[in-house]
Structure formats: structure tokens, C-alpha cells
Structure 1
Amino acid sequence: MKHDDAIAAALANRSFVYTYLWRAFAAEPDEAFLSAVADDATLEECKLLAGEDSRAVQVQEALAAFVSNVPDAPDALKGEYTKLFEGPGKLPAPPWESVYVCGEDLLFQPSTLEVREAYRSAGYQATGYPHEADDHLATELDFMGALSKRTQAAYEEGDEDAFRLLISKQVYFLGTHLNSWLPQYTERLLGAEKPKVSDFYRHFSVLAQELCVADSAALEEIARFEV
């Protein structure tokens, strides 16, 4: 496999983006994460994947402005993650794929098992398996992040078979899972009443949707390169 600096940069960019998105939906934001949100380098990573004039870049700029303009942002956002992603009580937009596939607020549906099988076939096991639903948004993003890092390593090691296989698994997972339900999740979260949902999580839901779509196009382009 010949080495191309542009492909290497694109693969590194994907690893960063999925780690960034995963962190947004995996736990309450802390000062370190909010610093990353406000960092110009993060904006550049979004530009690299989605393009300078993309909606993703506009939303990332809005996120950075939100963090910079809200006094004591960590305290202001404290507790919102729990209310949105854990409960107790009815969640404004449940972050599990099965809810949007089956049309009801139900977990551990057949779609959950399909996600679990996709993980198994790629040698990935979700944290909390088998007692927690595998199709939480943060887990699906973590899966893509894990495969992104493996793809990057396979490319650097010159393992073309592994590289091609990993690309195909990610294209499939985005098309069959994340890109199929994220628009519905985003629509539901955007429709939730303020102040139950702050602009912080509204923006991040749109950012995740836009970057996952952009990544599908990026993967198709990477796959066309002769490596």
C-alpha cells in the first residue's frame, strides 16, 4: 500500500471527530471538554471533514460561541446531561436507535440486536454489555471512533485487506444505523421545550447528524483511492 499524506490526514481527522462527538453524548461536559469545544483547532477539524461553508461548521461556531458567552458554562450545563440522557422521568429525546426504528419509546428491540451484531462482527463490545442497550448514540459513535482508529492503524501498517474491510463496515454502519435515525433524534431534540434543552445539546445533535453524513461521503471518496 502506497502512503498518501491526504488520506492519512483524512483518517486522523475522522478519529478526532468521532472521539469529539462521543464525548459530547457520553457524559456531562467538564472544563476540559468545553475548552475543546471552544478551541479553533476543533473548528478546523470540522472544516476538514464537512467543508468550510457547511452547516456543521456553522453549528460548531455556534457551539464555541455558546461556551464562550455563557458564564460558568460547566455549572450552567451541570445536570442537563442527566435530564436528557439518563432520567429519571421521560426523556425529551431518548438517545437510543430502537426508539426511532420501532416508533415507540422502547429499548432492546430487534434493531438493538442488529447493532450488537454489527459490533460483534467488528470485534467491538459495548461498555455495559449485555445489561445496557447497545444502540445508545454515544455507544454507536464510540464504535465508529474505534473503527476509525483501527482504519488509521491499518493504513499506517500497510494492511490493505484490513483497511478495505474496516472502510466497508463503517460505510454499512453509517448507512444502516446512524444516518438512518439521527435525523429523527435531532428533530425530536430540537422540538423539545426550552429551557429543558439548552442550545448546547441542540447544536451537538445537529453537529453529529451533519458530520456523520459528511463522513459517509468522505469514506466513499477514500475507498476510491488506489492504496
Structure 2
Amino acid sequence: MEYRCSESDITGVAARPLRDFFAAVTKDDMRAAFELLAADDPDAPRVSDWDEVEFAFNRFFVGPAKLQAAPYASVHLDPEASLMSESTLAARGVYDALGLAVPDRAMPDDHIAYELDGAIALRFAAQHVEPERSGDLADLRRQFITEHMGKWIPAFAQSVRQAGPPPAIEYVARRLEGWLEAEMDEADEAVTRG
């Protein structure tokens, strides 16, 4: 089943619960983010066992064993599939350009939750920037969304699906892909308009 983005996805609203899901620390955090993400979708899976989702979440994205679906751009983009490499520094450069910094240096800057937060910040800045800077910001947004996130998130989502996740995690991966597709279209259109 392919997820089609709703109008709320196109305006960037879906990025927040996606970010919050991947930044979750407890099953309650996961449930809250999932419920926001699935609120307007009657086809969203029903979850009866959040302990199972939390266990799978840790196995897929946290560890301590080898991650089944590493949520880091560098793992999917860089030749050696290592953390804190060129793509990590590229993400950090985007955050720096926006005057942002990752609050927790224990987690690399290219973690999907931070990158989704960067995409949210780029969308917000693009909507509130003075006209003379709008072209530069549109270019930065397109570069980050299309040329950076667009190159690794599909591989990440595929690794999630291939690992046999519970329905809730598979649903979040599909929503992530739908959000990315809509955001890439919007970022490309903004550059064309600018």
C-alpha cells in the first residue's frame, strides 16, 4: 500500500510527529507521536502492544546490538557507512546556516530526528524570511531536502521494511516516504518560484 500525502503533510505538519517518533525515548513517547501522525488516517494500524513496538524500535534504531535500520544519513550515504562523516558535517552545516545546533552531542547530527527538525526549521524560515534572502533559503532547503534527505531516507525506509517491523513502525516508514516526496516537490517548486 502506498501512502498518499494529505494537505497537512504538504504544509509540513507531518514532520513534527515523525521527528518525535524517531526521537522517542519511551513507548509513551512513541505512542503519542504515532497517534498524532495517524490521527487523520482511518487506515493506520491499530496498536495493542506498545511494548512490542518499543522493543522493535530499540532493535531497529537504538541498539545495543547492530541496528537493523540505522537512522543516520552517514550510514546510508557515505562509502564506509560510518557515523560522524561527511554527510554528518553537511547536516551540521545546514543547522549552522540556520543558527541552530544539536543539543545532545551524544547523538550524531545526521540522526533522522535532527534532520526532520532541520527540515521543519527550513520550512519555517522560508515562510518568514525577508524577500531578498528567499532565493538563498529556497536553494538551501532544496539542497537539504532533495539532495541530502532524498538520497538516504528511501534506503532507510527500505531497510526498515526489509527487517520485518511491526505494523506501527512500517506505517511510520511509509509516512516518512510520503512526507519526503511531498517536501521534495515543494522544495523544488519554491526554487522555481524564487
TM-score bracket for this pair, using the shorter chain length = 0.7 to 0.9
Matched residue of 1:16: which SS? coil
**Aligned residue pairs, count:** 185
Alignment match, 1:78: 54
> Match of 1:135?
110
The letter of the residue matching 1:175 is T
Deviation at 1:121, TM superposition (A): 2.1
Q: Which residue of 2 aligns with 1:118?
A: 94
| Residue of structure 2 in register with 1:171 after alignment | 142
- 1:145-183 per-residue CA deviation (whole Å, 9 max, x = no partner) reads 1222222333xxxx2124333222110101221000111
Q: CA deviation at 1:38?
A: 3.4
> Which of 126, 129, 139 pairs up with 1:151?
126
Percent pairwise identity: 25
Specify the code of the residue in structure 2 equivalent to 1:140: E
More off after superposition, 173-182 vs 28-37: 28-37
Number of the residue aligned with 1:208: 176
2:100 is paired with a residue of what secondary structure? coil
Contact 1:94 1:105 in 2 (8 A): no
Partner of 2:11: 14
The structural deviation recorded for 1:223 is 4.2
Letter paired with 2:179: L
Once structures 1 and 2 are overlaid, which stretch shifts more, 79-88 or 132-141?
A: 79-88
**AA partner of residue 127 (structure 2):** Q
Quote the offset at 1:105 in angstroms.
4.3
Q: What is aligned with 1:97?
A: 73
Relative to structure 1, the CA distance from residue 140 to residue 117 in structure 2 (aligned partners, 3 Å threshold; closer, same or farther) is same
Give me the TM-score of the superposition, normalised by structure 1: 0.70
Moved over 4 A (4+): 10-13, 223-226
Cα distance change, pair 126–39 in 1 and its aligned pair in 2 (3 A):
same
Q: Residue 190 and residue 22 in structure 1: after superposition, are their counterparts in 2 closer, same or farther (change >3 A)? A: same
Deviations 1:54-93 (A, max 9, x none): xxxxxxx54x2x13xx33x544423332222211101111
Contact 2:9 2:179 in 1 (8 A): no
**In the alignment, is the contact (CA less than 8 A) between 1:93 and 1:189 conserved in 2?**
yes
Change (3 A) 1:175 1:75: same
Greater gyration radius: 1
Secondary structure at 1:78 match in 2: helix
Deviation readout 1:171-197 (Å, 9 max, x if unpaired): 0101221000111111111111x4xx2
Per the TM alignment, residue 20 of structure 1 is displaced from its structure 2 partner at its CA by 2.3
Runs of 5+ in structure 2 lacking a partner?
1-6
Distance in 2 (alpha carbons) for counterparts of 1:12 and 1:186 = 17
What is residue 4 of structure 2 aligned with on the other side?
Answer: none
Q: CA deviation at 1:198?
A: 1.0
Q: 1:35 to 1:97 in 2, by over 3 A?
A: closer
The whole-number CA distance in structure 2 between the counterparts of 1:29 and 1:166 is: 36
C-alpha distance 101-13 of structure 1, shift in aligned 2 (>3 A): closer
Partner Cα distance (2:19, 2:131) in 1 = 27
The answer on whether the counterparts of 2:60 and 2:160 sit within 8 Å (CA) in structure 1 is: no
